[in-house]
A and B are shown apart, each in its own frame.
Chain A
Amino acid sequence: MKFTIPRHWFATLAPFLGVLAVVLVFWILYPGQPMTLKTWQIVATHTVVVGLAAVGMTWVIISAGIDLSVGSVIALSGVSAALAVDAGWGAIGAITVALATGAVCGVYNGILIVGLRLPPFIATLGTMGFFRGVALWVANNGSVRPEDAQGISTTDGIANWVKNGSEGQWLPPAVWLLLIITILGALALRWTVLGRHTVAIGSNELTARLCGVQIKRTKIVIYAIAGLLAGLAGVMLFGRLTVGDSTAAVGIELKVIAAVVIGGASLSGGQGSISGTLAGALLMAVLSNRCTAAGWPDFVEHMIVGHIIILAVAIDQWRIRRTNH
């Protein structure tokens, strides 16, 4: 063995080292603008929406699938949450409706993929447009803003949950929720039958079938989980915006996929890490925050993020080639 650090340890740590590297580079360039505790709070809060959706996406990508519809599902669930609040169903009602919306969208994706045997890329490219259309339809081409007193107070309740604000609160509950979901997602991937089957399907679907894994059912459940988490992300987005915006989260699917890929997952399936994904999402949020703090224009951030994705995958490929020898 040439490596003293086992491969999986390096794979787990690499994205976190990436986060550290970004912080250090900016600290060297701009010593007057260090990452304070406050900045970390902001960054963590900004990671929530992408992070939640990315946990689900990691499962999908490990199963050798992809979900391009995640942005539309987030928007649609956000609108549904807003409608539920407007209808006076309270915070619990809003969350339930949003989660249900997300799960139904996910099941629909899953059924299209296994029922019509469509490549996931095509199926979710289609539903990306469809779910967005539904969101625009139910929101009358705009946003849903709860307006009566009860609605406003419910919205504020959810917003407080998602945003920084209250005194004596170190991190908003949404960040803790993201952490819990990440840990659950990671544990389930390693310790449950579903997790094992997800990896098996992504690595070699024929082998999985030979070994009696119920491919169709498993795939539908995976997409349903991804949808459910996108629904949760939708609630968080609603809390952040305080309106259900049917045009929100456009293009967020690429950020979500980027987080997963930076985190070490392979788009050809069979491997990926939930904690890595979280680090990937954090990396992008930190970078965005640092670029803003440094006063760099938006386009620079895009240019850097693009190359971080390229670099992450290149390093991974290089590492795999080395260990294969």
Chain B
Amino acid sequence: MNISLNWLANYIDLDGLDTKQMADMLTFAGIEVEGIQQRGVTTDLVVVAQVMEKTPVEGSDHLNICQVDAGEGKLRQIVCGASNYVVGDKVPCALPGAELPGGWTIREGKMLGHASCGMLCSASELGLPDKVHGLWILPQDYPIGTPIRNYIDTDTIFELEITPNRPDLLSHWGMARELAGITGRALKADPAAAPTAAAQTRAAGDFITLSAPDVCPLYTATRISGVKIGPSPEWLAERLISIGLRPINNVVDITNYCLFELGHPLHAFDAAKLTGGLNIRRAAEGEQFTSLMEETYTLCTDDLVISDASGAALALGGVMGGLDSGVTEATTDIVLESAWFTRSNIRFTSRRLALGSDSSYRFERGTSPWNVLRAAARATQLILECAGGTAEPVLVGGQAPCLVPEENAPTATVLTQGTQALIHYALDQVSLDWKELDVMTNASVPHMEAARILRNLGLKETTPTATTWDCPPWRLDLKRSCDLLEEIVRVYGIDNIPATNTSIFVEESAHDRAHDYRMALSRKLAGAGFREVQTFKLIAEQSIDPTIASVQHALPIKPLMQGDIIRVALPISEDHSTLRPSLAPGLIAVAARNINQGMEVLRFFECGRVFRNTGGGKGRDIENEVLGIFMAGKLAPASWDNTKPAQAGYQHLHAALDILVPKANLTLTPARDRDNAALGADIQLNGQPCGYFARLSLESCRNLGLPAECYYAELDLRKLQQIATAPYKAADLPQFPGSGRDASLDVPAATRHADIMKAVEAAKQKLLVSCRLKDVFTDPTGEKLPTDRKAMTYTFLYRDAKKTLTAAEVDAAHKAMLDTLAAKVKSLSFR
């Protein structure tokens, strides 16, 4: 909301405050200052000047060289681009050194080679609303050389963000009341007090029918006859312009003015366009309504309309007036509406129709029924002043709703407004537990001071011990003890409450250990030359852009089934529509992005959450923490030392996995085919399944612009942690030497390492300590070895923990091993 400092100063003494102090005052009241605009100028360097000569600049279609008299005794040359002036006009002239709103300073310069020693100004350049396009043409009686600030009002506009709990601050009077309450500055006269006290009220009788009292329990109408519709007086128009509104006519402007003065929305009908009385009813399902902005809306029964005896909807209650019932130049009699609407209904209508107004903004945050008659009386006073006419008493339909909890109602203090038809307003009564205040503030706020703060904010104690307080009628947010404590702390200032630090002993949780493990793991991978990334959890279901992560590249530990993926109901874009079921899409997109930037080493990892549904969309939503590692491209950047680094292969990703849990036995078991994996294997740690290992499909790699060989592994972080952090003991060093024997196995090319290891295990050789693959040999030419065969050389290490083995014992063990291999592995021979 925009607040004009000049306007505000009508209600509160702001003397001696500069803009910054004012901004601080608002900030520490809990009101966010989003922007500050200066209107007008305070400098003496913008003066009244007369244009004496005007010559077009050659080669320009709009620039003129002007000689102007700024009262300096000689003419000043200024190049000007405006077109709305003639020689002899008086205009504002900014002299070199003048600082204009927006913080820029005028300097002498050249335009198209012509000296320009200042600037002729438009109104907007001086921070004022433009009345015409171009220079601001001043009245001829303004003396040349006089500072322009003598003729214009300067103002400062604060753009404020009001928190939703404080609708009472959405007006100038409301803001002044708050600031006065907080700072103790003098509050001036309440502009609505006198007119409200003088207001005559009558029961509305047949004129107002409240057909939906749950949405509109109180409706007032004031008939004013013989008004003269015309432009608003200057002071009124300027008030509205200053906060960014466009003046329309005196009556409409006054309803707007009262909204921004008192915070209560009003509406004026042309009485001639009404048929009979007003009926405030729910809209019929499908009823059409055309707003004064000439937009047509289809309504439903949750919307509220103001209609008349004709049945037509004249206004959308609390939101906007209709096209045909408003005040025009021809209007002579008006009916002024001031009413109270239930906030949730207004919010519903405004949101559903995407139709917001200054009125709906206030009603949906909550207005005070106490303000209904005040706004009506104040607006009536202003209309009589500015548009003439005579006002009839205010017709009151219904009664102010009781917003006080039922149990408090009988004892509540009740305010009464009006004469014949009285409007009653029950005040909220809130108890204050002083012990709570002492706990909350470590007893640092003196009770006397706290009570003074509450009184300044308009509360009144109703008991001598100040344990119960009447809340002022404008504060709908004060309901409980904690609401009063908030007010005390806010105004007393958290700066004045000493900082303390009590701490308790807490046990380490499983989440602490998970965090520690994840950090240790991440640092280990970083040390091994992998870069951690953090990718977006919302990804696309499908995308042709390689740098957009999409489900089609998911490589989760368990393959995806139909309906496993979880999609948000209303995504912002298809690129971010689905919760990632795997980290692979994000990491692949990162690789694609980086390869576009010329990166040759693609080694990335991410630790994070993945999501899937267990039962094709009908089961539970599961969230798991996993680790994803991607590897492709060169093993290291090329350098003088290694001009052609090797390409990453599956064995290198395997090596990276080995260092994660160095003591565990990590094995890969080839798994069922997946569409997006050329090769795939389940990862086991000490025999427990805990991940998936894949080479990306070659087609995907081609489409994504990635190297042909891309490897990816996804591991369950929780299982990894379990295995990696299991307790263990250190072993003694062996006391006796071991003996190694090599064996070169000639096997079919299709024989797998795992087949051999299985046979080695089957041998159950007690003396065997380890069996390590030493070399693999193939010969594509077929000369040394047929092309369908390969030679795998293993080193077997034998040792006895209790004695040194003799050569014969080692040979015997080795022979038994080779016999088992020959028996278990198909078509095996020794070389």
Q: Do A and B bind each other?
A: no
